[in-house]
């Protein structure tokens, strides 16, 4: 399932949760605001598991385009090569003139520029590892909830794991769900709504991936998995599922916003 399908499914799942448990959202204006937050976070949760894919929508937010990455990699190699040649030249060249001596001394600058270009080309890894390290630091220094350590460690391994690997397993989703709900339980209703929205979107993503050819599998029993092979990524069937999801979301929202003229409640 591609990005559009995942968002449609996650928004429908988030809306369905609101509809099934209206007590979660309270009433009046505050209720509308937290309902919108639940669905917005569901959409984010619906895209987040694909952070384990280098070119997914989630990953594109924290890296440069493929063209720029390749350009920076070449630039980095070029700059490092110039720096290295200048280092070598310093020892091979006889007593240098002033001009040449200045050039030789600039070797570390070329190397530094090369390292910087390399870092920009690997922005995704740096953002993931940096954010993960911050969460781990917050856990150990400020006694944050264990989900901070769990999320931190998960972010740090993301550059290394394969797509639809550990991050796409139900066991990982279960640990994430328990952690986020237990954390949000210590806070007010808005935080609870945000956590609920995110985990709903996350599970909707896994459900969406079950339809496809690769499917998802268990972490502890890798041979156990679900791959329904119902349609190919972005195909006509997937577009129909998206349309049905959006239509269902609209119906649910009409029902949520007009309780007196409740369509669905009249039907059942």
Binding interface with Zn ion (CB under 5 A): 50, 209
CB atoms within 10 A of CB 259: 10
Residue where the block lists tokens 């949520």: 256
Beta bridge partners, 216, equal 226
- Tell me the two tokens of residue 36: 């919108």
Rounded Cα gap, residues 121 and 129, in angstroms: 15
DSSP string computed for 97-133:
PHHHHHHHHTHHHHHHHHHHHHHHHTHHHHHHHHHHH
Q: Which is nearer to Zn ion, 50 or 238 (CB)?
A: 50
Q: Which is nearer to Zn ion, 3 or 239 (CB)?
A: 3
Rounded Cα gap, residues 25 and 33, in angstroms: 9
Minimum distance of Zn ion from residue 168's CB (angstroms):
6
Q: Which positions ≥6 away from 38 have C-beta within 8 Å?
A: 14, 17, 18, 24, 25, 193, 194, 196, 197, 200
Q: Which is nearer to Zn ion, 50 or 255 (CB)?
A: 50
Burial (CB count <10 Å: 0-12, 13-18, 19+), residue 220: exposed
Whether 93 and 104 have beta carbons less than 8 Å apart is answered as yes
Contacts 24+ apart (CB under 8 A), 228-234: 233/1, 233/2, 234/2, 234/4, 234/5
Residue where the block lists tokens 């894919």: 53
Segments in the chain forming alpha helices (H):
3-20, 28-47, 57-60, 66-92, 98-105, 107-121, 123-142, 146-157, 170-185, 189-211, 236-257, 263-267
Q: Which is nearer to Zn ion, 9 or 121 (CB)?
A: 9
Minimum distance of Zn ion from residue 71's CB (angstroms):
29
Minimum distance of Zn ion from residue 249's CB (angstroms):
20
Minimum distance of Zn ion from residue 105's CB (angstroms):
51
Minimum distance of Zn ion from residue 45's CB (angstroms):
12
Minimum distance of Zn ion from residue 210's CB (angstroms):
10
Minimum distance of Zn ion from residue 43's CB (angstroms):
14
Minimum distance of Zn ion from residue 250's CB (angstroms):
25
Q: Which is nearer to Zn ion, 209 or 238 (CB)?
A: 209
């Amino acid at each position: 399932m591609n990005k559009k399908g995942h968002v449609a499914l996650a928004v429908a799942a988030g809306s369905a949760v609101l509809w099934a448990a209206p007590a979660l959202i309270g009433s009046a204006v505050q209720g509308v605001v937290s309902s919108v937050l639940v669905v917005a976070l569901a959409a984010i949760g619906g895209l987040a598991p694909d952070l384990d894919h280098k070119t997914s929508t989630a990953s594109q937010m924290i890296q440069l385009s493929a063209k720029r990455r390749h350009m920076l990699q070449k630039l980095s190699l070029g700059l490092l090569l110039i720096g290295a040649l200048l280092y070598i030249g310093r020892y091979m060249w006889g007593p240098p003139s002033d001009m040449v001596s200045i050039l030789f001394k600039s070797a570390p600058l070329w190397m530094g520029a090369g390292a910087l270009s390399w870092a920009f080309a690997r922005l995704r890894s740096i953002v993931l590892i940096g954010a993960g390290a911050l969460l781990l630091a917050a856990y150990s220094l400020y006694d944050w909830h264990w989900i901070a350590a769990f999320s931190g460690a998960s972010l740090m391994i993301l550059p290394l794991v394969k797509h639809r690997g550990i991050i796409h397993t139900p066991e990982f989703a279960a640990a994430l769900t328990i952690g986020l709900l237990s954390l949000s339980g210590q806070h007010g209703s808005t935080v609870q709504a945000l956590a609920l929205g995110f985990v709903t979107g996350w599970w909707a993503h896994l459900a969406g991936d079950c339809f496809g050819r690769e499917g998802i599998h268990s972490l502890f029993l890798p041979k156990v998995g679900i791959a329904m092979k119902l349609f190919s990524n972005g195909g006509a069937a997937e577009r129909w599922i998206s349309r049905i999801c959006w239509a269902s979301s609209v119906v649910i929202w009409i029902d949520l916003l007009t309780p007196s003229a409740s369509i669905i409640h009249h039907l059942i």
